[in-house]
Structure 1
Amino acid sequence: MLSILGFSTIILFMFLVMTNRMSAFVAIIISPIIFATIGGFGENLGSMMLEGIQIVAPTAILLLFAVLYFGIMMSAGLFDPISRKILQLAKGDPVKIVIGTAILALLVALDGDGTTSYMIICSALLPIYKKIGINPLVLATISVMALGTVSGMTPWGGAATRAISVLGLDSTEYFTPLIPAIVCGSAWIILTAYVMGRMERKRIGIIHLERINKSMESNNEMAATVADNLPKNFKLIWFNFLLTLALMIALILGLAPLPILFIIGFVIALSVNHPNLKEQKSVIKENASHAVPVVMLVLGAGIFTGILSETKMVDSMASDLLRIVPESLGSFFTIIVGLISLPLSFLMSNDAFFFGALPVLAQSASEYGINPMEIARAGVIGQPLHSMGPTSAPLWVLLELVRRDLGAFQRYALIPVIILSLMLIVFALITGAISIAPR
């Protein structure tokens, strides 16, 4: 019964969003409330929702100040030189631009933080997409694929960290055999980018730009960024670059919690770039229009996750999916875990999947003599799909940056991301990261 309620919640949410019947924020709250009430959990809904909000509150604070910080950086033109250089190399060819997007996204994803990755990628490349006329959903899709593959599977990324800790594994032993599969997955992403670039080239052609080596400061259209209407202070580019670099180093070294780092970074950036009090209020007001929708959606996702977790719908869905595996297929259990991780990662938060479902899967695998290490590797394969699911907080930042809604993005990205995820299972199997257990 709980599984039926859980899957019904997911189906209703996806239907409402992908058919544009409701906004994502409304649908992500209404869907679990309806089926939790049907299941008899109405009396406890308030505490369940609050529990979910408390879990995502630090993430919401992080995203609020990250959006505000990068809003200042973009309005200051920090990433315009990068955009100009990429435009010079690509010479208006969508294929080269999209391949460049994939390479940059894969490199940036190494830092392990989705919000930061998306903001850097969009800051550097979104102006080019606007100038050339490339569909921003291409950028969003490639970014999600790169983040799910690199950040999702490396041991310093959030997903693998959870898998390693909950199963008590050694991070080096986990990661080393997975490197070839990640490299193959990265190559597949670049191939996918080439195909998408060819489609965009066929649609819009090669745009021959005149004098693309001139400073973006003298070309208003080329200088367009996510914060189009804010003035740029090019004199402060070096200061902003060093501040952002210091922020990234502090983030990687874990010198302070991420929300605190971005609060401090925002205060410094605001004070230096906009010392005038009236100007500060204007900048905050301008960027708040981008930050508030993101925070709302993250809090909505917290309510969604809180209800599904506290009602045990998530646990029931995972257990029922496990029961449908025939005992005769026990040798292929690692591959089955990889396949199961795709829908579960898409539907569930990483906490719910790795702390709730993965230990159950690992325990079942032990009955077939399968090492928990392989279950951990199989479990993270679903991260590309998780990165485009409703419980992925950084996704809401990405959608706000490219100005697209969840339904439009998922309709565009679902097939290439599913194909990537299936290929990752193949790559992991071929390279020995996961294996078929002997009978």
Structure 2
Amino acid sequence: MIALLGFVTVCTAVILITKNKMQPVPALILIPVITCIAGGFGPQLSKFIVKGILEVAPMGTMFIFATLFFGIIIDAGTVDPIIKKIFKIVGRDPVKIVLATGILAMMVHLDGNGAVTFLITVPAMLPLYDAVGMRRTTLATVIALSAGLMNTEPWAGTAQRCMVALKLTTDQLWVPLIIPFVVGAISILLIDYKLALDEKKRLASLPNYQAHLESAATTELIYEVSEEKQKTARPKCFWFNVILVLSLIGVLVSGKISPVVAFMVALTLVLMVNYPDVNEQKERMNAHAKNALLMSGIVFATGALVGVMSGTGMIPAMAQVLVNIIPNEFSRYLAVFVGIISMPLSLLFDPSSFYFGVLPVIAEAGKSFGIPAAEIARAAFLGQMNMGFPISPLTGGTFLLVALAGVGLGEHQLKTFPYAFLVTIIMLVVSIAIGAISI
């Protein structure tokens, strides 16, 4: 009965969210409340939810300060000089243009926000692609691959969901995957190089290729900064901001200081140095408060889901059902199987549904087979709404990307899916080789 109630809770929340019938926050709160009462646990409902909220509080708080910090770093124009330098180096060579696009997207995605990445990189590079005669689908694919990899940052939404759902720390989830991520970045740049050579070969075969070259030669490569951004830019603080970001990343990787404390201190420093005026500080905080509260609200709402499902015993009961179904000879490969299907599952599950509804059940089943929950999490984290997010129809970022690039969703998915899946598998193999995922 408890297992059935758990599956009803998960499936109902997943369907309502994926079908866009309810937003994640009300779905993640209301559904477990209803099933908890229906299961006869009404008197304990408050205790379950409060306990769940307390467990996710550090993660939710960290996300608030992380979103504010990186938003202000971008407001201060920290990435603009780097982008301009890349533009000067690129020239009109398709190979350099594609590689610069990939690197630029990785840099801009520092704040973990796909929409910001697409809004900056696509308009910046699209005129050049058009002038040279390069395909817009190549632009969309290159940006998608870079954004997908960088979406694995420990302060981004998927990492937060994954760590909250399974009660993991950055050191447990993310640090063991640093080498696979580095290999993934190299793989993406190699794919970018291959796509660039394809473009160069295609352009060379065109009868009017010389005209394309002449057209490109008349296109001035400039990265324009809007007047609004110029008002908030603080070029004199560039090196301070760069050192602060690098120091923060080093602290997060070391695991010596709590991430929420690190981001709180970093936010304080970046505000005081870049915007010493109190009113300016208030304006910058207000500018990013919406994004910070929106995602942290989802994190805290999941506290209700996780608290109810754990307190009522739904998760272990559901896991036991899966244990009884999975053949013993297959059990040792559960994490590998999750890693293989993680990226394609981005087409079926949005991040909240997967990480808060599906992953905890799989992880609990894995424990029965002696597989640590952290390894299941790492396997899923490689692809699910990371490498898979820029092609998923369940996120607004994908539609923003294809709209800005002027390509069809199906066309974009058809070209990008094989490469995104390949990078996911490469990172999975590396993870197995270094022991981050065992078999």
Give the TM-score band, short-chain normalised: 0.5 to 0.7
1:56 aligns with 2:61: no
Structure 2 match to 1:334: 332
- Comparing 416-425 and 74-83, the one that deviates more: 416-425
1:283 aligns with 2:284: yes
Matching residue's letter, 1:276: D
Structure 2 match to 1:423: 425
CA distance in 2, matches of 1:274, 1:162: 35
Question: How far off its partner does 1:356 sit?
Answer: 4.3
Aligned 1:5-44 pairs, distance under 5 A: 5-44=5-44
Offset from partner CA, 1:31-84 (integer Å, 9 cap, x none) = 322333332222222111111111111112211112222222111100112222
- Comparing 353-362 and 231-240, the one that deviates more: 353-362
> CA separation of 1:69/1:379 partners in 2, compared to 1, >3 Å: closer, same or farther?
closer
- The answer on whether the counterparts of 2:101 and 2:125 sit within 8 Å (CA) in structure 1 is no
- The answer on whether the counterparts of 1:136 and 1:402 sit within 8 Å (CA) in structure 2 is no
Structure 1 match to 2:221: 212
TM-score, with length taken from structure 1: 0.64
Structure 2 match to 1:320: 321
CA distance in 2, matches of 1:59, 1:425: 26
Counterpart of 1:30 in 2: which secondary structure? helix
Counterpart of 2:53 in 1: which secondary structure? helix
> CA separation of 1:118/1:282 partners in 2, compared to 1, >3 Å: closer, same or farther?
closer
- The answer on whether the counterparts of 1:12 and 1:31 sit within 8 Å (CA) in structure 2 is yes
TM-score, with length taken from structure 2: 0.64
1:359 aligns with 2:367: yes
> Where does structure 2 lack aligned partners over 5 or more consecutive residues?
127-135, 157-161, 203-211, 390-394, 402-409
1:69 aligns with 2:55: no
- The answer on whether the counterparts of 2:49 and 2:305 sit within 8 Å (CA) in structure 1 is yes
Structure 1 match to 2:120: 127
CA distance in 2, matches of 1:182, 1:233: 31
> CA separation of 1:301/1:145 partners in 2, compared to 1, >3 Å: closer, same or farther?
farther
Structure 1 match to 2:46: 46
CA distance in 1, matches of 2:167, 2:323: 23
Matching residue's letter, 1:423: I
1:381 to 375, 379, 382: 379
Counterpart of 2:369 in 1: which secondary structure? helix
Question: How far off its partner does 1:246 sit?
Answer: 2.6
> CA separation of 1:287/1:186 partners in 2, compared to 1, >3 Å: closer, same or farther?
closer
- The answer on whether the counterparts of 1:66 and 1:262 sit within 8 Å (CA) in structure 2 is yes
Question: How far off its partner does 1:301 sit?
Answer: 2.0
CA distance in 1, matches of 2:183, 2:436: 14
Question: How far off its partner does 1:9 sit?
Answer: 2.4
Aligned 1:104-253 pairs, distance under 5 A: 104=106, 118-119=111-112, 127-132=120-125, 142-145=146-149, 210-212=219-221, 219-221=224-226, 228=229, 231-253=232-254
CA distance in 2, matches of 1:319, 1:130: 50
Structure 1 match to 2:405: none
Question: How far off its partner does 1:427 sit?
Answer: 3.5
> CA separation of 1:385/1:402 partners in 2, compared to 1, >3 Å: closer, same or farther?
closer
CA distance in 2, matches of 1:230, 1:254: 36
Matching residue's letter, 2:337: L
Matching residue's letter, 1:362: G
- The answer on whether the counterparts of 2:28 and 2:305 sit within 8 Å (CA) in structure 1 is yes
> CA separation of 1:96/1:15 partners in 2, compared to 1, >3 Å: closer, same or farther?
farther
> CA separation of 1:39/1:136 partners in 2, compared to 1, >3 Å: closer, same or farther?
farther
- Comparing 333-342 and 90-99, the one that deviates more: 90-99
Cα RMSD (Å): 5.4
- Comparing 375-384 and 51-60, the one that deviates more: 375-384
Matching residue's letter, 1:324: I
- The answer on whether the counterparts of 2:302 and 2:356 sit within 8 Å (CA) in structure 1 is no
Matching residue's letter, 1:47: K
> Where does structure 1 lack aligned partners over 5 or more consecutive residues?
109-115, 167-171, 364-371, 393-398, 406-410
Q: Number of paired residues? A: 379
Counterpart of 1:362 in 2: which secondary structure? coil
> CA separation of 1:362/1:315 partners in 2, compared to 1, >3 Å: closer, same or farther?
same
